[in-house]
Structure 1
Amino acid sequence: MTHERSVFLRALGAQTDRLAPEVRAYVEGPPRGEIGVGEGVFEVAGSPWRWMLRLAQPFMGPGLLVPRYERDVPFTIIERPAEGLSDLPVLAASRALRFRGGLERFDDVLRLGREPGTLVNIVGDGGRLEILLDVTVMEDGALRLTTRSTRARIGGHRLRLPRLLGIDGVVVNGYDRARSRGTITARMRNPLLGTVMEYRGWFRYEHRIAPEQPQGAQIA
């Protein structure tokens, strides 16, 4: 994949050279015509507020909330690079978490933000939540995504949530050279509730031939 086709590398710009080689290989993504598939285990995954999220699920829609909380959760992530509006790179990801209590999905789409060094994360099947992320590289070469603001779609409008209702999230993608596998740590917090969702664990990643898509299909 070229630099121009990776939403992460486009956002990072000059910071790209600071990425660890293995992390850069991951965020470059698969070449045209292929998808990225990761298989791994989360040491812990879900939300300690699972009962509250279960109540909110009918209003927020599928692919957004994970109303479970367990340890040693196997998962699969499928990433599909695409082209959005104005032929800018977009990355759609779907995560399947295999809890002992049942399967849960968490889906999102990443596109470039208006400011350099930012991405917009559209979460859930209905795109009910939109998160502006700052994209940086850590001293050890890991990729770090940090929440700057959160918007919710209400009645056809996207409204910025006040801090007390918003989410402060940090996601770090690194690499464990001793075990030759990627690592991921994520925590989403609310000022009132504390941690509302977290997951941390490891995965191994490969490229596979993508299923055929309708000609001209795009992701907005």
Structure 2
Amino acid sequence: MASIYEQALGAEFRKLHPRIQERFGFGSRDRVASIGHGTMEQVWYAKWAVAPLLLGATRHIMFPQGGRDIPFNIRNYAYVDSFGRETVTWLRAFRFPGAIRKFDATMIYSEKRSRIVDYLGSKQHLAVDLELSAEPNGGLRIRSSDQRFYERWLRFPFPRTLTGTADVCEWYDDEAGCFQIRVQVVNPMAGPVFRYSGTFQAAFVSVAPHDIPLDAKPLREEARE
């Protein structure tokens, strides 16, 4: 079975660098995880956004802390969720002096929407449609579009003016022999909200379905896409 990223990109998946194809080409049947370690050269946030970022930090969605040369790790596990959907985790941890900040998400391929849906945070209360493309350097670019808020009986589109649009690019640098990543979140009215960039190494490790750590899965799964 094709990975959720290959389903979303179709033939364009083959335009990705071979190392990027490896990182985004596995699924639950492969019984592996991609584990990465590196350094973010810069982590930055807008001072005006402290209040919403503090709220987001409680659910592992961005955070109001910045710095340079921040140790970083990323864990991507693939599993089938309780609704039978192929799922891939993005578990990012930033090790600041005195604090570990987390930025978590789980992604599925939605047949209904014909695209990947990204559930942000630890309780899948924010669902974001993603647009994927292959970059000229063989990298994968991910841009967010429509967002929806789910909390118990509540459901409503989340206005972009109250949140931000994410632009993520991950590529493999042959000369440096490492993965590079650049992430920026921008509010259409107020400007940049949050960003980070840096490098990391990643390798596959064997993981049976029952060995996926509990913290790799959200505290609550949302059926609505």
Q: Tell me the TM-score normalized by structure 1.
A: 0.85
Q: Tell me, yes or no, if the aligned pair for 2:79 and 2:209 is still in contact at 8 Å.
A: no
SS where residue 213 of structure 1 aligns? helix
The Cα of 1:19 is off from its aligned counterpart by 1.0
Show the counterpart of 2:175. 178
Show the counterpart of 2:50. 51
Aligned pairs for 1:1-220 within 5 A? 3-4=1-2, 6-29=3-26, 32-49=30-47, 51-53=50-52, 55-57=54-56, 61-84=58-81, 87-113=84-110, 114-116=112-114, 118-210=115-207, 213=210
Query: Over the residues paired in the alignment, what is the CA RMSD in angstroms?
Result: 2.6
Cα separation, 2, equivalents of 1:108 and 1:80: 11
Question: How many aligned residue pairs are there?
Answer: 213
Q: Tell me, yes or no, if the aligned pair for 2:91 and 2:102 is still in contact at 8 Å.
A: yes
CA pair 189-54 structure 1, distance change in 2 beyond 3 A: closer
SS where residue 139 of structure 1 aligns? coil
SS where residue 64 of structure 1 aligns? coil
What per-residue deviation string (whole Å, max 9, x for no partner) do you get for residues 48-93 of structure 1?
2363245424xx7321131201111111111110123674421012
Cα separation, 1, equivalents of 2:142 and 2:204: 23
Of 39-48 and 67-76, deviating more is: 39-48
* Runs (5+) with no aligned partner, structure 1: none
What per-residue deviation string (whole Å, max 9, x for no partner) do you get for residues 101-160 of structure 1?
4111111000113343x2111011112221111111112221111111122224532311
Q: Tell me, yes or no, if the aligned pair for 1:61 and 1:126 is still in contact at 8 Å.
A: no
Write the letter of the residue equivalent to 2:16: L
Of 24-33 and 103-112, deviating more is: 24-33
Cα separation, 2, equivalents of 1:120 and 1:190: 20
CA pair 204-184 structure 1, distance change in 2 beyond 3 A: same
CA pair 99-29 structure 1, distance change in 2 beyond 3 A: farther
Write the letter of the residue equivalent to 1:201: G
Q: Tell me the TM-score normalized by structure 2.
A: 0.84
CA pair 53-194 structure 1, distance change in 2 beyond 3 A: same
Cα separation, 2, equivalents of 1:110 and 1:177: 27
Of 149-158 and 31-40, deviating more is: 149-158
The Cα of 1:211 is off from its aligned counterpart by 6.3
Q: Tell me, yes or no, if the aligned pair for 1:47 and 1:197 is still in contact at 8 Å.
A: yes
Write the letter of the residue equivalent to 2:166: G
SS where residue 6 of structure 2 aligns? helix
